[in-house]
A and B are shown apart, each in its own frame.
Chain A
């Protein structure tokens, strides 16, 4: 009788962790993990230790303390008795404002410059090349400071507008361009539905949104009619009416009037004050990022096969129509992913605002607040968190857009 026995089980030996390929990769990962955790624990314990040495604690309580300083550009209520937290919020809104304005203008500049750089017109394409290379190859900070200096040094002070025969006069009697910024007329409401201007504007926006929705329905209807009968009904006056009339009626009801800037005391008063710091930062960010976007757009257009252009011309389309209907839509899927990076760059670069005294979140939370309270670590962590969240939001929104325009394969 024979009995089958299992081959003698060879026990697990420690050396297998290194020499046995079944275990080796696990060993390496475990060791790397331990080292990584040690590094982090060392960083944290070192920070705690150093803070203790300095006699400091880790506390976010400063955010609810009165800030004590003023901020010139505030889009929400704020004064020097408000909290550091609110000062940070004012800064955040200012950052978002300049990032939004910058992204919008940079996209417009970039697309135009990118398309024109491929122009057959020698002069136009060379001019665009000069713009792109000029802005791409000089640091952004220099552009910000240069534009700010130009605006401060070359424009008149408000005092030049004073007197019987002033040295300077207002542009069209409504715009005042001074070395403290540009004053433009504002719309105010005489009989507000709400006390808060923000809600009044929200109401106007809602009506405008409803009008645009109506216009889209009208276009849809016209297209259906065209497909059914072959003739497209004339709709432009309906569209114009829908766009203007409801909003206009609402504005009149609310007693809207122009608030034109005028000399008051030391400065101009009334209207909207676009500070030099905002304009310099906005223009510099837009021009700088626009140069990069131009290259991205150029690359995107070149990525579309030349045959597409030729085919479109063969169908009798004009160059402008070809670009808008054939080339750009196809170029978009190449353009958008790098465009997202440029938007993120612009947003983060807005922290250079400190160079011209624009009160963004870097200047309020990351500058004055940290300086007055001595909470560097807490402030910088919050600042980092804010930029992280903002970048993720922008990137998320752009990725949704990207998914909607990318090549749909069936």
Chain B
């Protein structure tokens, strides 16, 4: 009798715990801030600035989501994760979402039970090598020592690339980008391989970036995007459409400069009106205020502004838009319609 009561109580407690963990939106609102997983420091993508405030391309996604949900882009608790700890941190609920140069793959989506909400950067894996070694192609890297971040897709691509081309290499596994940079500069490895954007960001922080070349081969597709846990579709939708709102804003010409004017009254473009909440009920459909997208865009500007400010051609990292231009400009950035 007594035992049944205890077991019953335990079951109820277990169910309650399970139900509570499902509604991430309620958790975030109750907590008053968003726990966002980012990398441990990659200039331009996510790194704290001189004042200790996190800045970057991935960080901007976190801030936009926080602005859309809580109305405050600064209400984000950034959790630095390494290639190895990021998925455990997300699966265990330590973070609400992960925005960390993470490649969308089949097994991560299905086997690891995560939900990728979209792509914020189309990337591919490249190689960086000191100019003095005189290597012009990745196929000449037979016998080279390669620094590689463990637990990443780049690690698997690297093994495949060298196996397919029938050349050998010596992998040096490392945890973080900072460590890789230090090892590479000390000459402990000949080559550093990671996503081409990461290479550009790393090279930009060198004292003499000109001494290092990024080889022309891009050996993989690396669609990088934010992800959330599987099973909480409402939360997934919020993160997905926040990212889409940033992309759509650029397409429609909504910028941080003109958003105040556009949002003050319904204009003659119904899609902008629905996006900014001056028309329709889109906000209510995902359980947020009507002006959720407006707040998200105001946090850092639209997708194009975020790109230019953090990693664009006028920054030390100097990445061109390339594949990441809007579909109207010949790129792959394409938001489904807001209707």
The answer to whether A368 and B3 touch (CB under 8 A), given A45-B14, A56-B113, is no
Whole-angstrom CA separation of A24 from B179 in the bound complex:
62
Distance, CA A373 to CA B105, complexed state (A): 12
Leading 7 A-B pairs by shortest Cβ distance: A157-B187, A371-B151, A80-B159, A374-B112, A265-B143, A357-B173, A68-B156
Which B residues lie within 8 Å of A68 (CB)? 156, 159-160
- Mark interface residues in B227-243 (1 if CB within 8 Å of A CB, else 0): 00111000000000000
Cβ contacts A to B, 23 pairs, < 8 Å: A38-B7, A38-B10, A42-B10, A46-B14, A53-B18, A53-B21, A54-B113, A55-B113, A55-B230, A68-B156, A69-B150, A69-B159, A159-B187, A180-B188, A264-B143, A266-B144, A267-B145, A355-B175, A363-B173, A368-B150, A373-B107, A373-B111, A374-B107
Contact check, A34 vs B163: say whether CB atoms are below 8 A apart: no
CB pair B144–A79 under 8 Å, yes or no, is no
Supposing A80-B159, A371-B150 touch, asked if A54 and B10 sit within 8 A by C-beta, the answer is no
Identify A34's interface contact among B3, B84, B231, CB under 8 A: B3
Q: Which residue of A lies closest to B10 (CB)?
A: A42
Asked if B155 is an interface residue, CB under 8 A from chain A, the answer is yes
Q: Are B187 and A179 closer than 8 Å at their CB atoms?
A: yes
Within 8 A of B (CB), among A65-108: 68-72, 79-81
- Closest Cβ of chain B to A97, distance in Å, is 17
The interface residues of chain B, by DSSP majority, are classed as mixed
CA distance A34 to B144 in the complex (A): 61
Instruction: Check if A266 sits within 8 Å of B190, measured CB to CB.
Output: yes
* B143:A266 contact, CB within 8 angstroms: yes
Chain A neighbourhood of B6, CB < 8 A:
38
CB atoms of A49 and B14 under 8 A apart = yes
Interface residues of A in 247-295 (CB under 8 A from B): 264-267, 269, 276
* Contact of A372 with B156 in the complex, beta carbons under 8 Å: yes
0/1 interface trace, chain A 147-176, chain B, CB 8 Å (1 if under): 000001100010100000000000000000
B residues near A54, Cβ cutoff 8 Å: 91, 113, 229-231
Minimum CB–CB distance for B176 against chain A, Å: 11
Cβ-based interface call for B172 (8 A) = yes
Give the docked Cα–Cα distance between A159 and B84 (Å).
Answer: 32
B111 and chain A: residue at smallest CB distance: A374
**Chain B residues within CB distance 8 Å of chain A:** 3, 6-7, 10, 14, 18, 21-22, 83-84, 87-88, 91, 107-108, 111-113, 133, 141-145, 150-151, 155-156, 158-160, 162-163, 169-175, 183, 186-190, 229-231
Given contacts A45-B10, A266-B190, A357-B174, 13 further A-B contacts (CB under 8 A): A42-B10, A54-B91, A55-B230, A56-B113, A70-B158, A70-B171, A79-B163, A80-B159, A265-B144, A266-B143, A267-B143, A367-B150, A367-B151
Cβ contact within 8 Å between B155 and A368: yes
Partner of A55, one of B163, B175, B187, B231: B231
A376 within 8 A of B: yes
Name A's B-contacting residues (CB within 8 A): 34, 38, 42, 45-46, 49-50, 53-56, 68-72, 79-81, 152-153, 157, 159, 179-180, 264-267, 269, 276, 354-355, 357, 359, 363, 367-368, 371-374, 376
Query: Cβ of A267: which chain B residues have Cβ within 8 Å of it?
Result: 143-145, 170, 190
Cβ contact within 8 Å between B84 and A367: yes
The distance from the CB of A88 to the nearest CB of chain B, in whole angstroms, is 15
Contact A368 B151 (CB under 8 A): yes
A70 and B143 within 8 A (CB)? no
A152 — which chain B residues lie within 8 A by C-beta?
183, 186, 188
Complex Cα distance A374/B111, Å? 7
Chain A residues within an 8 Å CB radius of B175: 354-355, 357
In whole angstroms, how far apart are the Cα atoms of A46 and B172 in the complex? 39
Q: Do the beta carbons of B188 and A359 come within 8 Å of each other? A: no
**A309, B230: Cα distance in complex, Å:** 72
Known contacts: A55-B231, A267-B170. The answer to whether A371 contacts B14 by CB under 8 A is no
Contact yes or no, B151 A372, CB < 8 A:
yes
Q: How far is the CB of B159 from chain A (nearest CB, A)?
A: 4
- Is the beta-carbon distance between B170 and A72 smaller than 8 angstroms? yes
A363 and B150 contacting across the interface, CB-CB below 8 Å:
yes
Distance (whole angstroms) from the CB of A3 to the closest CB of chain B: 44
CB distance from B91 to the nearest CB of A (A): 6
A37 CB to nearest chain B CB (Å): 10
Docked pose: A265 CA to B186 CA in angstroms: 19
Complex alpha-carbon distance, A157 and B133, angstroms:
12
Contact A376 B145 (CB under 8 A): no
